[in-house]
Amino acid sequence: MGRWIDISMPLTDGLRSNHSRPGEEFRITYDITPADDPEKRKTVRRISTRLHAGTHIDSPEHLVVGGKRVDDFPIETFVGRAVVADMRHKAPRGIIAAADLDAAVGHTVREGDILIVRTGWTSQYTKPNFFSDSPYFHPDAAQWSIDKRLKMIVVDCLCDPLEKERQIGGVDAFKRTVLAAGILVMTNADRLDQITKAEVTLYGFPLRISPSEAAPSRAVVWEE
């Protein structure tokens, strides 16, 4: 008997995206309330947001000019076998290197798999230290991911220090490198601590927005 685990962050009014400045938060407003038309008793809400809100999928176009968009990928890309690399010992401020990933899942990961990197850091998302103290990847973890031929990487922390999203020490940073290789990145996954198995099935379908360099996802895990 298996179970479903929702790893999506709730999209609530006022939620910020990783890069949003004050005034750019996710917003839910009302177009119509029952009080506006008591006979119809209708409710209609409106949202205003960046595509990088809550749990979302970044495509190559996000950081690579001319790269593929989310809506360019076939639907089967967003579902599949996922292996869990437990990196909770890396929080806070730890660096996740290729050697760490290899020690955690190098013996089980297969070509075409999804890699779930669990640090527990999403629990700090609403706190000021989320950016300053987040674990992040060493650039060599990108080549490891490419060599393993992953199709998606799921994270609950920052991929790179926020101010160094493009380069670290003159070398392309982790996220830009894996996106350039065609590996999707699901950011802001939540409740990864609920996963108890080393291998699960991820269903991470994005909203069908076109064009989209990123798209929110109602991501869930099926655990046998």
Residues 6+ apart with CB under 8 A from 3: 222, 223
Q: Domain locations in the chain?
A: 3-9+50-223
Continuous segment of H or E residues that includes residue 185: strand 184-187
pLDDT value of residue 189: 98
Give the separation between CA 65 and CA 67, rounded to whole angstroms: 5
Q: Encode pLDDT of 113-167 as tens digits.
A: 999 999 999 999 989 899 899 999 999 999 999 999 999 999 999 999 877 777 7
pLDDT value of residue 171: 67
pLDDT confidence band for 170 (50 / 70 / 90): low
Question: Phi/psi at 89 (nearest 5 deg)?
Answer: -70, -10
| CATH domain 3-9+50-223 topology | Glucose Oxidase; domain 1 (3.50.30)
pTM of the model: 0.94
Determine how β-strand 171-172 pairs with β-strand 56-58: unpaired
pLDDT at 69 over 70: yes
Q: Encode pLDDT of 13-30 as tens digits.
A: 999 887 778 888 999 999
